[in-house]
Amino acid sequence: MDFAGKTVLIVGAGGMGLASARRFAAAGAHVVLSDIDAARLSEAKDALSCAIIAGDIAKPSECRRIVDEAFSLYGRLDMLLNAAGVWVEGPSEHLTEAEYDRVLDINLKGAYFLSAAAIAHLEAVQGQMIHIASDAGLMGNSGAAAYCASKGGLVLLVKALALELAPRGVRVNAICPCDVETPMLKGQAEIYGAGDPQAYREALKRFYPQGARTRFATPEEIAAFIFAVAGIEAITGAALQIDFGTTAGK
């Protein structure tokens, strides 16, 4: 798909967001990258020569501001790619209200209000939005109830928006990856690995059907998949796995 002259707003400047930014920039898009981490954004700007907007999508007013500023930069918005997300795990009875709110505010509420802010701009150019959900939005993960709730909610949000917006020419899809070699996975292993991040990673791999050949997906693989989905008009309302078969069954 030719993205020359089109504007792609990517929210979340982590591994998948950055890889996607490179992919769309190579296709000629005006890439606007947003994140709450100003230092991360500055590094991305230097590496990609993209526009940047700092903001916190846990706040609906910030969602609106990010989208409107991205639109104002180039006078159009053709695609919203929401790659922001946070992970929390542990026994459900120990999860605090603040931890629960943070996960839902970023992973689900932020996605909702980013989408709402982008609809009018996307309708004007028959554009699209893609949200990065998770294989944990399609199946339960023991010890990650809040995260599953946020990503499961995101998958159904995408489906509902796709039906609502199809008559207006706007496509909406969800990408559902497995574990991906990103800063989030690195932090996850360090925080929840009980002092042994490598053992934590190996435990995750036991859920995969590849046995000794198991590896995690790369951000570049996810970005390639997103780019492909973005170019196929017939795909909307989908929750598309890219997960080495983790959601295929036992």
**Which pLDDT score is estimated for 250?**
80
Query: Which two three-digit tokens encode residue 213?
Result: 């050949």
pLDDT tens for residues 141-189? 999 999 999 999 999 999 999 999 999 999 999 999 999 999 899 999 9
Q: How far apart are CA 198 and CA 14, in angstroms?
A: 21
pLDDT at 119 over 90: yes
Set 74, 147, 200, 208: catalytic member: 147
Q: Is 147 a catalytic residue?
A: yes
Overall pTM > 0.75: yes
Nearest to 158 by CA among 103, 250, 80, 102: 80
CB of 9 closer than 8 Å to CB of 34: yes
Residues of the chain with CATH 3.40.50.720: 7-179+219-239
Cα–Cα distances in angstroms (integers) from residue 196 to residues 94, 186, 216, in the given order = 22, 12, 18
Q: How confident is the model at residue 1 (pLDDT cuts 50, 70, 90)?
A: confident
In CATH, which of 3.40.50.460, 3.40.50.720, 3.90.420.10, 3.90.1170.50 is domain 7-179+219-239? 3.40.50.720
Which segments of the chain are extended strands (E)?
7-11, 30-35, 51-54, 79-82, 128-132, 171-177, 239-242
pLDDT at 200 over 90: yes
DSSP codes of every residue in 140-161:
--TT-HHHHHHHHHHHHHHHHH
